[in-house]
Amino acid sequence: MDTPQPAPVSFDAEGGEALLRTPNSVYALRIGTDGSPRHGYWGTPLDLAEILESRSSAENSFEGSDPTPDELAIETGSRFGVAGLRVRFADGVRGAQWRFAGAEVEGGVLRLRMVDRVYPLALELVYRVRPDSDVIERWVEVSHTGGADEPAIVVERCDSGAWTLPKRSDYRLSHLVGGWAAETQVQRDRLAVAETVLTSRRGLTSHQANPWLALDAGDATEDSGEVWSAALAWSGSWRIAVNRDPGGQVTFSGGFGHEALSFRLTPGERMRTPVFAGLYSPDGFGGASRAWHEYIRTHVLPHPEEDRPVLYNSWEATGFDVDEAGQLELARLAAQSGVELFVLDDGWFGARRDDRAGLGDWTPRAEAFPRGLRPLADEVHRLGMRFGLWVEPEMVNPDSDLYRAHPEWVVHAPTRKATELRNQQMLNVGRPDVAEWMHATLDRLVRENAVDFLKWDANRMVTEAAWPGHPDPDRLWIDHVRNVYEIIDRLRADHPGLRIEGCCGGGGRVDLGMLARVDQVWTSDNTDATDRIGIQAGFGQVYPAAAMVAWVTDSPNPLTSREVPLRFRFHVAMAGALGIGGKLTEWSEKELAEAAELVAEYKEIRPLVQRGIAYRLQGPDAMSGVHYAAPDDSEHVILVWRPTIRFGHWPPPTRLMGLREDATYQEASSGATYSGRLLRERGLELGLPAGDYASRLIRLRRVDGVESR
């Protein structure tokens, strides 16, 4: 008989203690004497009794009687740090003061209910765990419980939760920074004894900072050590404030919106914040990434079981210069190369000859597509591919029929000069009329043109934000994102076969909120294979390879002018959801044949790349790679890249920590067999060719009877 497992979530009403269990972690909290939930513990599994015993009390007249960090800090009591909830009542009083009103446990969800002692404000702090993941999802539901004649409550900040780490003598912060064409660069520094803010004030997730962070005591490596990390499921402005005090206490509080935004909570209204997911991993940065990948594949992405198709995208080949004949020529060559999805990018609509006009007018440009898009879509289908279309529905060029008809639809402050970025303005999708128009337009496009796939782009951020005539104009920052989510959800529900790629001038809107409703994201407008190695490694810290679109484009690369051999470009792009974005009409017969061969090889390894377990590889002299292991250990693929050779060094064998010690593996190309122990301890000779841009794709198969294990 199976021994009964402890419940994943429990709440002891008498002691006010709550405990959440995941396979490899425990999270504990308790209701403080002032009615506020206080942090207990987050880390390796311990018994509740042990956790309670280890609680320290450090009462003094400056910190008050309970200096334990809050699960969501308020502004009353002896609290002087980052407040996750900041409210202002009509009489000018600031800050909530809680009375604990009970807890509910249902399935893997814990809800803690608090009500303000005086004002009509209630808050639920919600936690969710799942049996197969160490990720804990947290969010907050804040409500105005007063009658219709009560004044609104101004909410200046409502984070989804605060996370506290065990005290350690040091802490290190890892996060993702970048810019356009340079997204998701890993930054790893000692955490300052101060408040450190990671944020986007751009109205979109941003290229500059991604809403993910990891903290370790300075001792974690790729393969070992404790790592605490968190990711926010929100695609607008956001803020995560990390506080480290001189006593070794580290807490971070995060949620939607940037500082200085506020909204008015009206009587009867309930606002739910986005999920802020936290993960404790005992297995180093690599282990944390694998746990995120698994969580996202299992619980976030809409169709995790599906293979992402090999796609072709016209952008780098033709720019705005698209027409039916030219696209058909590319489509034929793409089909011959084994492409499964042909995507017509920007330039097909309205008066769109360049980026100065046409955005918003989503009808085919007559001179380029005199018969409309349908004949191209039909031919793409006849060639055996799916048909995809680029749209940028949240944006408008002032030189467009849409803008001329509805200048009031854009995000604008009438008294301010409207900044144009890429000659465009942003539509206020928070407006119901704009949202309705957008849904109807996209729905029509998909229906009329047999569109199987939308590439949903967004190429500017919010400036001069205002919502003239709206009683609560900062709602823009929330309502725009929520309506975009709702429109995508509605389109998907109405068109179950439709697949969507999220894009924002490359990777400017990559987050768990987007990934819950798109199948994949465009990683970066930088398609230079050498630069991509770093961008992809950063992306993979949290997001899985199945969602990471990677194209092979031309050499010299249009952005960097770097010349890179075709095989190297493929080997880098094959680490994600492979696509081709080059001018195939100018590729030689030899290049096309090599491309077709590599696409065929990708299709063989695709289940490993897109659904396998990823181990990052790092070697000397800028050699790096990734190892994807089948979950049942039957097959493995290793992609390694060394852009530059240094001093004629021969790379040392690479240790493959994703193999099992007691198993035997055979390398496909040489037929050689090795023990897992050897490949883990001594490593595999990579056999990289000499010279720059050396890369290899190595396949291993387990040969000692995987089924019997």
How many whole angstroms separate alpha carbon 434 and alpha carbon 303?
A: 29
DSSP state of 90: T
Which residue in the block uniquely carries the two structure tokens 């991604």? 210
How many whole angstroms separate alpha carbon 346 and alpha carbon 327?
A: 12
- Closest separation in Å from C-beta 505 to ligand DGJ: 5
CA max distance for the chain: 79
Stretch that binds ligand DGJ, among 123-131, 274-282, 499-507, 594-602 (CB under 6 A): 499-507
Q: Does 503 bind ligand DGJ (CB under 6 A)?
A: yes
The residue among 505 and 540 lying less far from ligand DGJ, judged by its C-beta, is 505
The residue among 451 and 503 lying less far from ligand DGJ, judged by its C-beta, is 503
Closest residue to bound ligand DGJ by CB: 346
Single out the residue of 174, 199, 441, 459 in contact with ligand DGJ (rule: CB under 6 A).
Answer: 459
The residue among 283 and 525 lying less far from ligand DGJ, judged by its C-beta, is 525
Single out the residue of 477, 522, 674, 693 in contact with ligand DGJ (rule: CB under 6 A).
Answer: 522
- Closest separation in Å from C-beta 527 to ligand DGJ: 9
The residue among 71 and 346 lying less far from ligand DGJ, judged by its C-beta, is 346
* Closest-CA residue to 318 (of 329, 308, 306, 307): 329
Which residue in the block uniquely carries the two structure tokens 């500082």? 259
Beta strands in 227-340 (DSSP E): 227-232, 238-244, 250-256, 263-265, 270-272, 276-281, 311-313
| Sequence-distant (≥ 6) Cβ neighbours of residue 473 within 8 angstroms | 465, 466, 467
List the interface residues with ligand DGJ, window 312-331 (CB under 6 A).
315
List the interface residues with ligand DGJ, window 256-275 (CB under 6 A).
none
- Closest separation in Å from C-beta 551 to ligand DGJ: 9
Task: Write the DSSP assignment of 195-247 as a string of letters.
Answer: EEEEEE-SSS--SSEEEEEEEE-S---SSSB-EEEEEE--SS-EEEEEEE-TT
Q: Does 528 bind ligand DGJ (CB under 6 A)?
A: no
CB atoms under 10 Å from CB of 236, counted, come to 27
| Sequence-distant (≥ 6) Cβ neighbours of residue 522 within 8 angstroms | 455, 457, 501, 502, 503, 504, 506, 507, 549
Sign of the alpha-carbon torsion through 428, 431, 433, 437:
positive
- Closest separation in Å from C-beta 530 to ligand DGJ: 19
Q: Are 124 and 118 in contact (CB under 8 A)?
A: no
Q: Does 505 bind ligand DGJ (CB under 6 A)?
A: yes
| Sequence-distant (≥ 6) Cβ neighbours of residue 216 within 8 angstroms | 171, 172, 174, 225, 226, 227, 228, 285
How many whole angstroms separate alpha carbon 682 and alpha carbon 7?
A: 42
Stretch that binds ligand DGJ, among 68-76, 122-130, 278-286, 500-508 (CB under 6 A): 500-508
Q: Does 506 bind ligand DGJ (CB under 6 A)?
A: yes
The residue among 452 and 501 lying less far from ligand DGJ, judged by its C-beta, is 501
Task: Write the binding mask 403 to 442 for ligand DGJ: x where contact by CB under 6 A, - elsewhere.
Answer: ----------------------------------------
- Closest separation in Å from C-beta 334 to ligand DGJ: 16
- The active-site residue out of 216, 525, 528, 531 is 525
DSSP state of 155: E
β-pairing verdict for 520-522 and 499-502 = parallel
The residue among 229 and 400 lying less far from ligand DGJ, judged by its C-beta, is 400
223 is catalytic: no
β-pairing verdict for 276-281 and 270-272 = unpaired
Give the phi and the psi of residue 128 in degrees, each rounded to 5: -135, 130
The residue among 76 and 185 lying less far from ligand DGJ, judged by its C-beta, is 185
List the interface residues with ligand DGJ, window 168-227 (CB under 6 A).
none
- The active-site residue out of 34, 346, 457, 479 is 457
Q: Does 361 bind ligand DGJ (CB under 6 A)?
A: no
Stretch that binds ligand DGJ, among 65-73, 205-213, 503-511, 641-649 (CB under 6 A): 503-511
Query: Which letter, b or e, does each residue of 402-418 get, where b requires 16 or more Cβ atoms within 10 Å of its Cβ?
Result: bbeebeebbbbeeeeee
- Closest separation in Å from C-beta 618 to ligand DGJ: 29
- Closest separation in Å from C-beta 316 to ligand DGJ: 8
Q: How many of the chain's residues bind ligand DGJ (CB under 6 A)?
A: 11
Single out the residue of 34, 216, 324, 345 in contact with ligand DGJ (rule: CB under 6 A).
Answer: 345
How many whole angstroms separate alpha carbon 118 and alpha carbon 150?
A: 13
- Closest separation in Å from C-beta 431 to ligand DGJ: 24
β-pairing verdict for 17-22 and 9-12 = antiparallel
Stretch that binds ligand DGJ, among 244-252, 381-389, 408-416, 501-509 (CB under 6 A): 501-509
- Closest separation in Å from C-beta 105 to ligand DGJ: 45
Give the phi and the psi of residue 200 in degrees, each rounded to 5: -125, 130
User: Distances from the Cα of 187 to the Cαs of 178, 208, 217, 274, 682, in angstroms?
Assistant: 9, 12, 15, 25, 30
Q: Does 394 bind ligand DGJ (CB under 6 A)?
A: no
Q: In this structure, what is the dihedral angle of CA atoms 58, 60, 66, 68, given to the nearest 10 degrees?
A: -50
The residue among 228 and 543 lying less far from ligand DGJ, judged by its C-beta, is 543
The residue among 581 and 612 lying less far from ligand DGJ, judged by its C-beta, is 581
Single out the residue of 42, 390, 570, 641 in contact with ligand DGJ (rule: CB under 6 A).
Answer: 390
- Closest separation in Å from C-beta 302 to ligand DGJ: 21
Sign of the alpha-carbon torsion through 174, 175, 178, 183:
positive
Q: Does 513 bind ligand DGJ (CB under 6 A)?
A: no
User: Distances from the Cα of 389 to the Cαs of 100, 381, 449, 604, in angstroms?
Assistant: 52, 13, 9, 27
457 is catalytic: yes
Stretch that binds ligand DGJ, among 15-23, 269-277, 498-506, 677-685 (CB under 6 A): 498-506
Beta strands in 416-496 (DSSP E): 425-426, 453-456
- Closest separation in Å from C-beta 457 to ligand DGJ: 5
Single out the residue of 216, 294, 379, 457 in contact with ligand DGJ (rule: CB under 6 A).
Answer: 457
- Closest separation in Å from C-beta 326 to ligand DGJ: 16
Q: Are 550 and 572 in contact (CB under 8 A)?
A: yes
The residue among 46 and 351 lying less far from ligand DGJ, judged by its C-beta, is 351
Single out the residue of 183, 525, 528, 531 in contact with ligand DGJ (rule: CB under 6 A).
Answer: 525
The residue among 423 and 666 lying less far from ligand DGJ, judged by its C-beta, is 423
For ligand DGJ, the binding residues (CB under 6 A) are: 315, 345-346, 390, 457, 459, 503, 505-506, 522, 525
> Among all residues, which ones are annotated catalytic?
457, 525
